[in-house]
Structure 1
Amino acid sequence: MAETVVKERKILVAVDGGEESMYALSWCLSNLVSDNSRDTLVLLYAKPLRSAYSSLDGTGYLFSSDVVATMERCNNEMADCVMAKATKICQDFGEVEVETRVENGDARDVICRVAQELVPDVLVMGSHGYGLIKRAFLGSVSHHCAQNVKCPVLVVKRPKSSGNN
């Protein structure tokens, strides 16, 4: 009797709470995760750093501790909300092993650093679908990661709905 080989894969999925990243997660679950593999999905959220200084007149000022604490609390609540939403999508899919990671910093740097550390079989990301001009001003996290990580990168673009043309 032939023994069935079960492949273990680690899939890193970058989530940010936007519809694009949640669509990419759902697509990943439907198209990459299979019954005859033991996949581990690592959900990664990059919590943006809030600058303590703001430069108004060149001298800058320090936010009060109350403002900083409020900003940090909001950041933490956003991270919790994003991870709860992503984890629920995974639970609704069925049996899949899920790990969550929340890291501080710019999404580009965080995703590249975690991909280097974990060495996943694939990195899955959503795409905002910015045009050339917007991408030039805002930058593209998925493009940056595709150029800088050593694992395969799958960028999933959410189809346009018929009402948004």
Structure 2
Amino acid sequence: MGENNRRKILVAVDESNESTYALSWCLKNLVSVQNSNDTLILLFAKTPVAVHTAMDSSGYMFTSNIIASMEKYGKEVAEHVMHKAKQVCKDLNDHVTVEIVVEHGDPRDVICEVAERLKVDILVMGSHGYGAIKRAFLGSVSNHCAQKVKCPVLIVKKPKSNAADH
């Protein structure tokens, strides 16, 4: 690749081990540190706090203190995720630019929107490996993004350990 052919690689990160594994895999197998001009964009989608002004079924109402605590926790999670991701990237040389993006919203929508807005060349995501039932209820973020984004999508599955996983 010539100097003008910078690749933009978007890596969706969250607090999971699968996400960290996908980032590490990307660095080992996709980002060429030898003469690269790649831009690695680390994206964390911060799910907004669901605020209900009406009382829930048990008669409790979220107070502003609870809402503030939940928002503070969300900020701390984002900071922790990005710190962990930056640690994974710490050995990259100066030829690879690392950018941090934190957006608010449903991860499915945020990842697709950012991939489109930044015109990335590839999207890298970890797979949580949910079973069929859990995936039916939660939905697969990686599957949703693979269907929606226009660029290639690389879904990295973390190998199952041979320990007591059964």
Q: Same fold (TM over 0.5)?
A: yes
Q: Is the Cα–Cα contact under 8 Å of residues 55 and 61 in structure 2 kept in the other structure?
A: no
- C-alpha distance in 2, partners of 1:65/1:122? 41
Report percent identity of matched pairs.
59
Match of 2:70 in 1: 71
Distance in 2 (CA, whole Å) between partners of 1:117 and 1:93 is 25
> Which AA in structure 1 matches 2:19?
S
Q: Deviations over 1:102-151 (max 9, x none)?
A: 10011001101101101101000000112222211221000000000111
Q: Which residue is 1:140 aligned to?
A: 140
Q: Which of these residues, 2, 7, 11, is aligned with residue 5 of structure 1? A: 2
Cα distance in structure 2, aligned partners of 1:152 and 1:61: 46
Q: Which runs of 5+ in 2 are unaligned?
A: none
Cα distance in 2 between the residues matched to 1:155 and 1:55: 40
| 2:109 corresponds to | 109
Q: CA deviation at 1:93?
A: 4.5
Deviation of residue 56 (structure 1)?
Answer: 2.3
Aligned pairs for 1:1-165 within 5 A: 5-6=2-3, 7-34=5-32, 35-53=34-52, 56-57=56-57, 62-95=61-94, 96-163=96-163, 164-165=165-166
Q: What is the rounded CA distance, in whole Å, between the counterparts of 2:55 and 2:119 in structure 1?
A: 39
Which amino acid is the alignment partner of residue 88 of structure 1? Q
Q: How far apart, in 2, do the equivalents of 1:67 and 1:134 lie?
A: 29
> In 1, are the aligned partners of 2:124 and 2:153 still within 8 Å (CA)?
yes
Runs of 5+ consecutive residues of structure 1 not aligned to the other structure: none
Give the Cα separation in 1 of the matches to 2:113 and 2:77: 21
More helix by share: 1
TM-score when normalising by structure 2? 0.90
Structure 2 CA distance, aligned partners of 1:153 and 1:55? 42
Counterparts of 1:5 and 1:103, CA distance in 2: 32
Q: Are the equivalent residues in 2 in contact too, given 1:52–1:62 (CA < 8 A)?
A: no
RMSD: 1.9
1:94 shift after superposition: 4.3
Partner Cα separation in structure 1 for residue 158 and residue 114 of structure 2? 24
